Structure 1
Amino acid sequence: MLKKHSAIFIALLSSTHLYANIPIESRALSQQFNDNTTSAPVSTNLNWDLIQKNQKLEEEVRRLRGQLEEHENSIELLKKELANRYTDLDQRLELLSQKIDPPEETTEATTESTAEAAAAPKSEPPSPANTIQPESPKNTSNSTPTPVVQATQNTATTNTTNSQIELEKAAYTVALDAYKQGGAKKAIQPMQNFIKNHPNGIYVGNAYFWLAEFYLAVEPVDYKAAKQNYNIVATRYPNSAKAPRAIYQLYSIAKEVDKNTALANQYKNKLISQYPQTEEAKFIQKK
């Protein structure tokens, strides 16, 4: 009996010790779980904030890229519009100058005709000697028709010159229209053809200038060809209205593209000395 009670008492002690250890283990597990649950939201919130900021930055970059593309398109349209207006103005000025200042060939022909008409023999009252012995018909026939024939030849020469000018003007207009319709790349060949067909024309100086401008407007830019044509304008056609602009373009290419300061200064001095009253010279002096 005593052994039985002892065994029960030992069993109770063992179970009490077992149950006493259970809450301790439970508290440890629950405490660890609570620690994990409190730290997890902090980490999650931090990641979420970073994701949100990254998305905002990406949206801002996309917005700025869109604005940049819009600005680039606007600038390109403005460049084309300005170039078209510039070519129109250039063409109108050339046509106006032809109306104000006739070509040298026409002026020379008119002057020659006037001089010959003035040098033609005039009818004078017959002298007493001529009354007795009148001039022979042979001399009269030789002196009278000469001015008429010469005037007819001068008129034909003037008409031919005017026709040539009109043809040249039409060809020059076609070359400029090629740029308006298809851009610089498609305008190069028509302008080259114009120069080839009218090497001594009144528009050829302008044609070389625009050809250089076209080479600057193509992709990729052909600086070598542009410089060659600008040099032709500056050296062969120094009296052209485009000569100051051609020298300024050579100055800009030497300074900005070739990084040749010495050559750029040469062009600068040439522009200021030869064309001091032009807008290009006044502008370059401010630099």
Structure 2
Amino acid sequence: MQFTKPLFLLLSAACLSAQLWAQAPVVDMNSPRAGAESNRSMQGEIYQQLQQLRQEMMTLRGIVEEQEHQISQLKQQGLDRYIDLDRRLGSLTTGAAGAVVGSSSTVANAAVDAGSDAGITGEAAVAAVTGADVVNPPAVSAVPAVASNGNESSDYTDAYALVRSGNYDQAITSFLAYVERYPSGRYTPNAWYWLGELYVAVKPQNLKASTDAFQYLLSKYPDHDKVPAAMYKLGTVYFLNGNKQKSQELLTHVIDRYGSTGNSAVNKSREFLRKNF
């Protein structure tokens, strides 16, 4: 029996379709095998979702750690600004110049020797070395109004916070208001000390105001804990003003008078003399 070509092709296609249908698996969705395959598919999806969540958590954890590090750095920078104030005058170079301030260097030198030999302490020694025969405080008139809590401790803390944050001009205003508001306050000597520091830290520097603040502190509170540091700072301000001989005399006096106390002003005075004289 002979087949025509079209009929032959039709029969061949039918045979092939029957073979493919025989090979295709028939899956019953109610069978245990179908349930297992469905569970495996769901487990795979859940696993992928968990992996994605882990990646997102790791990313968020990294962001939190970075923010914590930045906050820590900001806190440290605040402390560093305070330390930097103490270093500025200590790193002055011999190129600093200005007007000569203070009394005769010869007289001051004689006073240092006399004070050391006679064991003079307190106000007499300070005045002899620095020429700080100051009776009245430097003028603080026309100070802009500064908010006050009515508590000298709180007001001092607010003013000092401006130093730590680097707002030196505002800190000067706050400390001037403080010494005017609390002329006999517990922290007033410290306020005068910071005024001496800040007048050098701002731009442009006000060396005359810095000298006045330190000298008033030394003459008014000769036995205060800030006296050694104020002497050292005043010695560096004299150097800035071009009065190198008086600077050397005052720094030498700090070493002679406080050398056995372990005060940090002693080492700073030695280092400044070593670098600049």
TM surpasses 0.5 = no
Structure possessing the higher radius of gyration over alpha carbons:
1
The TM-score range, normalised by the shorter chain, is 0.3 to 0.5
Normalised to the residue count of structure 2, the TM-score between the two structures is 0.42
Normalised to the residue count of structure 1, the TM-score between the two structures is 0.41
- Greater relative CO, 1 or 2 (CA 8 Å, sep 6+): 2
